C-alpha cells in the first residue's frame, strides 16, 4: 500500500515543492490551501491517488475540518507548512490582520499537530515549517518572527516527547526563500531580500526530505549561510546588537505599515 502525506500551503512555494517531491517518492499526497482551482490543477498534474482539500487555515471551522481529515486518514507524514508574514510595525497594523496570521501560523498548526500525533504510529513524521527568524527576531515583522519562534520551540518539545514512540518531529528553519512570501507579506518589489542569502524552494525541500530520512535533529536549518548568520548573531554578538541589526534590515519603518486590504491573510 502507498504511503500517504498531507501538506498544508501546497498551492505554491515550499509546500508545493514538498508535495511534488513526496509524490515523486511514491506518497499519495493530500494538498491543503485556499486556492481550490490551483490545487485542482496541481492534483491533475501529479496524477492519480492525490487529493485537494481546500481550506482557509486562518478560519477555525476550516482548521477543524482538516483536523478531522487528519484523524480519519492517519497520514504517514504531515507537513505543516502554510504560513504568512505581515510586514509593518505592530502598533500600526490592524489587530485583525495580525490575529489572522497567528491563527494560521500558530493555532491551526497546533490543532493539526494534535490531531496527527494523537493517532500517529511508529515510523510517522511531522515537519513544522518555522524560519531562521525564530532565532533572530525581525522588528518590522515582530509578530511573524514570534510565531516562528513558537513553532520552533513547540517542535523541539514534540521531538523529545515523541521519539520514544518512533515518531519523528522537527522544526524546519528556512532562511530567505524565493517564493511569493515576501509579496504576500506586503513587501515592496524594490526592497527584496538580498539575492546572496536566498535559497530556492527546491534547495529548502532537499534539506527537508533529507531530514525526513535521517530522522535525527529536532531543528533543521536549511543552508550553511543561514547557520553561519545565526551563529554570528546569536553566539558572538550581544542581544541588543542583534536586535538593532535585524531591525535595521527590517521590512518596515515607522508609518509604513501595509494597509490590511493589501495583505493576503
Ligand X SMILES: NC(=O)c1ccc[n+]([C@@H]2O[C@H](COP(=O)([O-])OP(=O)(O)OC[C@H]3O[C@@H](n4cnc5c(N)ncnc54)[C@H](OP(=O)(O)O)[C@@H]3O)[C@@H](O)[C@H]2O)c1
- For position 56 contacting ligand X by CB under 6 A, the verdict is yes
Judge contact between 14 and 177, C-beta under 8 A.
yes
- For position 113 contacting ligand X by CB under 6 A, the verdict is no
Sign of the four-CA dihedral 15, 211, 85, 105: positive
Among positions 91-110, residues that touch ligand X (CB under 6 A) are 104
- Residue 86: CB minimum distance to ligand X, A: 11
- Select from 51-59, 71-79, 135-143, 212-220 the region that touches ligand X (CB under 6 A): 51-59
- For position 84 contacting ligand X by CB under 6 A, the verdict is yes
- Residue 166: CB minimum distance to ligand X, A: 26
- For position 58 contacting ligand X by CB under 6 A, the verdict is yes
- For position 14 contacting ligand X by CB under 6 A, the verdict is yes
Nearest Cα residue to 170 out of 200, 119, 134, 197: 134
- Select from 19-27, 82-90, 118-126, 208-216 the region that touches ligand X (CB under 6 A): 82-90
Judge contact between 148 and 130, C-beta under 8 A.
yes
Cell numbers 541589526 correspond to: 245
- For position 187 contacting ligand X by CB under 6 A, the verdict is no
- For position 83 contacting ligand X by CB under 6 A, the verdict is yes
- For position 258 contacting ligand X by CB under 6 A, the verdict is no
Alpha helices in the chain (DSSP H): 13-24, 36-46, 60-73, 95-102, 109-117, 133-136, 142-163, 181-184, 201-214, 224-235, 239-248
Nearer to ligand X, 165 or 227 (CB): 227
Out of 2, 121, 161, 180, the only residue in the binding site for ligand X (CB under 6 A) is 180
- For position 11 contacting ligand X by CB under 6 A, the verdict is yes
Number of residues that bind ligand X (CB under 6 A): 29
**Cell for 64?**
477543524
Q: How far apart are CA 46 and CA 52, in angstroms?
A: 11
- For position 162 contacting ligand X by CB under 6 A, the verdict is no
Out of 4, 6, 7, 13, the only residue in the binding site for ligand X (CB under 6 A) is 13
CB count in 10 Å sphere of residue 130: 31
Using alpha carbons only, give the angle 101, 102, 108 rounded to the nearest 5 degrees: 100
Q: How far apart are CA 167 and CA 160, in angstroms?
A: 10
- For position 177 contacting ligand X by CB under 6 A, the verdict is yes
Give backbone dihedrals phi and psi of 55, rounded to 5 degrees, phi first.
Answer: -165, 145
- Select from 18-26, 135-143, 170-178, 244-252 the region that touches ligand X (CB under 6 A): 170-178
Query: Which residues sit at the interface with ligand X, rule CB under 6 A?
Result: 9-15, 33-35, 38, 55-58, 81-84, 104, 129, 131, 174, 176-177, 179-181, 184
Amino acid at each position: 500500500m502507498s504511503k500517504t502525506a498531507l501538506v498544508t500551503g501546497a498551492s505554491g512555494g515550499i509546500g508545493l515543492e514538498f508535495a511534488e517531491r513526496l509524490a515523486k517518492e511514491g506518497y499519495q499526497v493530500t494538498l491543503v490551501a485556499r486556492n481550490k482551482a490551483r490545487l485542482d490543477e496541481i492534483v491533475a498534474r501529479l496524477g492519480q491517488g492525490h487529493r485537494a482539500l481546500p481550506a482557509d487555515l486562518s478560519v477555525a471551522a476550516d482548521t477543524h475540518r482538516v483536523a478531522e481529515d487528519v484523524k480519519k486518514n492517519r497520514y504517514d507524514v504531515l507537513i505543516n507548512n502554510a504560513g504568512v508574514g505581515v510586514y509593518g510595525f505592530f502598533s500600526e497594523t490592524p489587530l485583525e490582520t495580525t490575529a489572522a496570521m497567528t491563527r494560521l501560523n500558530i493555532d491551526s498548526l497546533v490543532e493539526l499537530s494534535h490531531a496527527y500525533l494523537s493517532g500517529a504510529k511508529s515510523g510517522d513524521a511531522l515537519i513544522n515549517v518555522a524560519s531562521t527568524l525564530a532565532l533572530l527576531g525581525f522588528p518590522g515583522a515582530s509578530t511573524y518572527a514570534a510565531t516562528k519562534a513558537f513553532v520552533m520551540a513547540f517542535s523541539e518539545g514534540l521531538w523529545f516527547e515523541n521519539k520514544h514512540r518512533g515518531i519523528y518531529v522537527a522544526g524546519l528553519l528556512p532562511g530567505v526563500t524565493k517564493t511569493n512570501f515576501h509579496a504576500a507579506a506586503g513587501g515592496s518589489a524594490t526592497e527584496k531580500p538580498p539575492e546572496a542569502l536566498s535559497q530556492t524552494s527546491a534547495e529548502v525541500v532537499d534539506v527537508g526530505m533529507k531530514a525526513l530520512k535521517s530522522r535525527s535533529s529536532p531543528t533543521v536549518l536549511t543552508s550553511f549561510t543561514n547557520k553561519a548568520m545565526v551563529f554570528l548573531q546569536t553566539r558572538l554578538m550581544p542581544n541588543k546588537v542583534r536586535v538593532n541589526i535585524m531591525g535595521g534590515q527590517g521590512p518596515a519603518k515607522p508609518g509604513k505599515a501595509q494597509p490590511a486590504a493589501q495583505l493576503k491573510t
